[in-house]
Amino acid sequence: MYSIFGLSPTELASTYNEYLNCVHPDNRDCVADAFKKALNGEPYSIDYRIILADGEERVVHEQGEVICEKNIPIRMIGTVQDITERKKTEEKIQSLANIVESSNDAIVTKES
């Protein structure tokens, strides 16, 4: 997670609010909602954007759950994956599909 967020282990957000500051402003509500549901026992699986200290934007997939003892959250477990390149590829494919669909020209594909 440190390398994905571009931080050293000592720099990683130690509080929830510090963590949310790494999340793109347009995605903070989505992340906050997922965490609220997790606190109520629902596992979560979300894609969202983060902004690194140098301004670089990345897309991550995160899934996890909150572990509770006697209805008190004691730990959060899960995974975070950098899916930036996958998202860029999906956007390119969608863009090409949109061009093909909106074209008035005949488009033929052929297998060799």
CATH superfamily of 2-102: PAS domain (3.30.450.20)
Q: Output the pLDDT for position 65.
A: 94
Using the predicted structure, report yes or no on whether residue 31 has a pLDDT greater than 90: yes
pLDDT confidence of residue 24: 97
Q: Binning pLDDT at 50, 70 and 90, where does residue 106 land?
A: low
Tell me, rounded to whole angstroms, the distance of Cα 81 from its chain centroid. 8
Q: Which stretches of 1-112 are DSSP H helices? A: 2-5, 16-22, 28-39, 84-102
8 Å CB contact between 44 and 38: yes
48 or 12: which carries more pLDDT confidence? 48
What is the model's pLDDT at position 97?
86
Ranges of each domain in the chain: 2-102
| CA-closest candidate to residue 79, choices 56, 60, 100 | 60
